[in-house]
A and B are shown apart, each in its own frame.
Chain A
Amino acid sequence: MKIIIIGCGKVGRTIAEQLDGEGHNITVVDKNPRTVNRLTEHLDIMGVEGDGASRSVLFEAGVENADLVIAVADADELNLYICLLAHCSGAKNTIARVRNPVYHKNITESQSMRKAIGLSLMINPEKIAALEMSRLIRFPSAIEVDSFARGNVELYTLRLAGDHFLVGKKIADIGLLKGDVFKGESRICLVERDDEIIIPGGNFVFAPGDKVSFICTPSKASRIFKKFNKSAPAKAKNVLIIGGSRTAYYLADILIESNINVKIIEKLPERCAELSDLLPEANIIRGDALNEELLDSEGIDKMDAIVTLMHLDEENIMLSLYARQKSDAKCITKIERIVFDNIVDTMPLDSVIRPRELTAESIVRYVRAVKNSEGSNVESLYKLVDGRAEALEFKINSKDSPVVGKQLKTLKFKNNLQIACITRKGKAIIPKGEDTIEPDDLVIVVTTHKGLQKIDDILD
């Protein structure tokens, strides 16, 4: 597909990297020649330097033949304007990053307006981040939760403590353990050990500190979680949000809806008033969160989950480290800007949310879906462990594929690849060797290989 990305910030950059790797024809546009150069030198893409809101610049980038224009510049208005311009200049699809909830509401509610701008997708990074956080809070002992197959199955990641009952055991032996944890309803798809990503086979032995990801349906999740992690509570009841940002509002809104008590600490009195107006059921505390006494007096040690949403990444990190010291609560740290992923990973931070990466990921997922309508049959793609592994959903369209109708144990798959789940008629099946893939199934494949395009690619 011919894709134009306007704005080469972190999000634009991440999208360009990802989409270039998938073989799309990318042109990036930015006012700053240096950022454009940096990207074009490292990726096989074209760069146009100039104002994306200018018609001539868009034409130079080839907007008239573009399949997709992604506007991820700084301002909402600019992004919407660019999409309008691109739509009028012949671009087939447009995506805008829009932060302001008012704009969001306007455009979502008015079909005619959406049509006029020709917008295919609006991305709200704060909302995406809030959704992701709420998923984590539902299962506090998970480090990450990803949802697949339209929410039919979820992938949970958690870290094994040194004394966990699985440590030293083989995967093949799990079924023999007393009260079988998985009962064939779940499967371990991915293990991250130190710097290594492992798609484990039957002979894999668990070690302390492993980050283990398993897949199952949400309804079975809490039972499995209880077995898996006996000490932690299955569901959060009290959540503390530090920092009253827009993300905090979205998150609180979602949590309150599922009957969770929310406490928000915010420094600015005006914002406190706004929040209490918007969220009458939340407990809004005015005060500077960078103050141990305040945090202690607000019962940081009694919380089930703590989310740090301050403006500065450094403050979030400090607050989370403090919270981890004071309580066993689930901690979620928002990191916006800091790029030293390896260093952040070594800190005992529990879960880290990077809104920009989430934004990029949801755009890439959309591109895959568009592309799917013209050939490749990847329904959606999820980046796992910082993009080092992928979970792909394949829709099985034809009977002719070499994988269809054969028992899985007879097929020779690529290394580092696992069929995690098959969804048939809305029902999730954790496949065993005897199971088969049938037409119309939705197959979820977890792998460290990049750029699989069709289901046949899973074979060696």
Chain B
Amino acid sequence: MNSNLVRYVLGWVLIIIGAMLILPIIVAVIYHENDYIYFGIIAVACLTIGLISSKIKPKNTQMYVREGYLSCALTWVLLSVIGCLPFFISRQIPSFTDALFESVSGFTTTGASILGVDRQIEDLSHSMLFWRSFTNWAGGMGILVFMLAVISQLSGHSNMYLMKAESPGPVVSKLNPKLKDTAAVLYGMYGGLTILQFLLLALGGMPVFDAITLSFSTAGTGGFSIKNASVMAYEGHFYWQAVITVFMFLFAVNFSVYYLILTKKIRQAFKLEELRWYFVIFISAIALITIDLTINGFYSNVFERIHHTAFQVSTYISSTGFASADFDTWPELSKTILMTVALIGACAGSTGGGLKVSRAIILVKSTARDLRKMLHPNSVYTVKMDGKAVKEDVVSSINTYLILYVFIMVISVLVLSLDEKMDFATDFTAVIATFNNMGPGLAKVGPTQSYYDYSILSKYVLIFDMLAGRLEILPVLMLFNKSCWKNK
């Protein structure tokens, strides 16, 4: 491994984090809060170390897969630790583990919180709330992608590995021949949609601070709310909740769809198989749950039923993790459907989590192919997506991914079950909710509950799950691979 190169990349990451920390300082100044000191100290420290480190350019700047994966994983560890310091130093979240949990949950866009039971979310200062929601936004499209977009020193060709390691989906491809342009286009669309949502919310009468933080959390499909009761706090404001529903749905769509629309290839965009299946899953989940709720007599009218169903399906399929209703009280079938759409998750190349729709499609198709092969052992049949053959190594990497996915889930549930205070439903949904970067689970980690009661060990397991889920497992596993650390 070229450790000097990794150090160099991390130096730039520190500069970006330092720059990000300036935003909550501004918020603190606006609200006359003293927290700017904490953000200020950390920002200055990050910028100083970052500037020194980025000045010393390594001799060999050729990045290979292992440097890409390692830089990515270490970036996220660094991000999480620095991100938790404001909470911790200001004693607004006194336990380091809790602060780290909150920070990881923010950057990985999980939205699972340890706040809400013992301490209320509303107890945090405005600048801390802003920072909490901003971590959702920064983690959504990814910090390395942002870095590639703005720092031309890193625009070299081999940094594609960085982007690949951070971006979700089985195949990461460029929108534009130049990596820098691709990253800039992605952030442009991301920022544009965020601003659009903010405007729609603010013009709809939502307080500006709420609108900003909610837009950040929705855009990253994170799900941090500035209210203890999540979006339930806006009870009765159907317009606000509807805007959030639509944008949660939109941010879980593959961003290349928006690029195609921007470049006036609309027909091609709507032909994408992943997008079509995403629609199908979304609509059928809403239909099934609405019927289930009707049979079981929830809510007084159809409009309200569909409204809450759409919100909950949106939040689960996009792995955002808001709640407009306490769905923990819903019928079992509805809850199971919600968990299922959460497992399948969003589209690849979006800010959402989960297995990703395209992976699910390829898995189903390749399984069907293998079954067919049992009957006709000599048949040759390629798995196709969007009319093109999917490469065999992509198919096999998705199979590997699924195995790792299940394996990590099982081990996590096992470790969590050491916690005597919790039950199986809680442990199981907690792992699903964190590993898929969703947020609230069911039972004791349901939408009105929090992760506060878990033991320290369990919290670290969940922190690992969140990071592994956001980076799609492999980069995080590389941290534990001895040969990856060896200097060649």
Which residues in A have some Cβ–Cβ distance to B below 8 Å? 2, 20, 25-27, 33, 40-46
Contacts and interface: CB of A to CB of B under 8 A. Distances in A.
Contacts of B192: none
Nearest to B64: A41
Nearest to A42: B157
B486 interface: no
Interface residues of B, number: 13
The 3 closest A-B pairs by CB, nearest first: A44-B157, A25-B177, A46-B177
B390 to A, nearest CB: 11
B287 to A, nearest CB: 35
A41 B155 CA distance: 14
B483 interface: no
Contact of A46 (B156, B176, B391): B176
A33 B391 contact: yes
Nearest to B157: A44
A26 B157 CA distance: 12
Contacts of B176: 25, 46
Contacts of B177: 2, 25-27, 44-46
B294 interface: no
Contacts of A2: 177
B157 A45 contact: yes
User: Which of B155, B157, B179, B181 is packed against the most chain A CB atoms within 10 Å?
Assistant: B157
User: Which of A20, A33, A45 is packed against the most chain B CB atoms within 10 Å?
Assistant: A45
B178 A25 contact: yes
Nearest to B175: A46
Contacts of A44: 155-157, 160, 177-179
Nearest to A45: B177
Interface string B50-81: 00000000000000000000000000000000
A27 B178 CA distance: 10
A263 to B, nearest CB: 48
Contacts of B391: 33
B174 interface: yes
A43 to B, nearest CB: 5
Contacts of B178: 25, 44
Interface string B155-173: 1111010000000000001
A303 to B, nearest CB: 46
A411 B178 CA distance: 36
A25 B180 CA distance: 11
A41 B174 CA distance: 12
A213 to B, nearest CB: 29
5 contacts: A25-B178, A40-B160, A44-B157, A44-B179, A46-B177
A26 B160 CA distance: 15
Nearest to B181: A25
Interface in B154-213: 155-158, 160, 173-174, 176-179, 181
Contact of A43 (B155, B157, B181): B157
Contacts of A41: 160
Nearest to A60: B268
Given A2-B177, A25-B178, A46-B174, 8 more contacts: A26-B177, A33-B391, A43-B157, A44-B157, A44-B179, A46-B173, A46-B176, A46-B177
User: Which of A27, A44, A46 is packed against the most chain B CB atoms within 10 Å?
Assistant: A44
A310 to B, nearest CB: 37
Contacts of A40: 160
A43 B176 CA distance: 13
A41 B158 CA distance: 7
A99 B248 CA distance: 57
B151 to A, nearest CB: 14
A3 to B, nearest CB: 9
Interface string B387-410: 000010000000000000000000
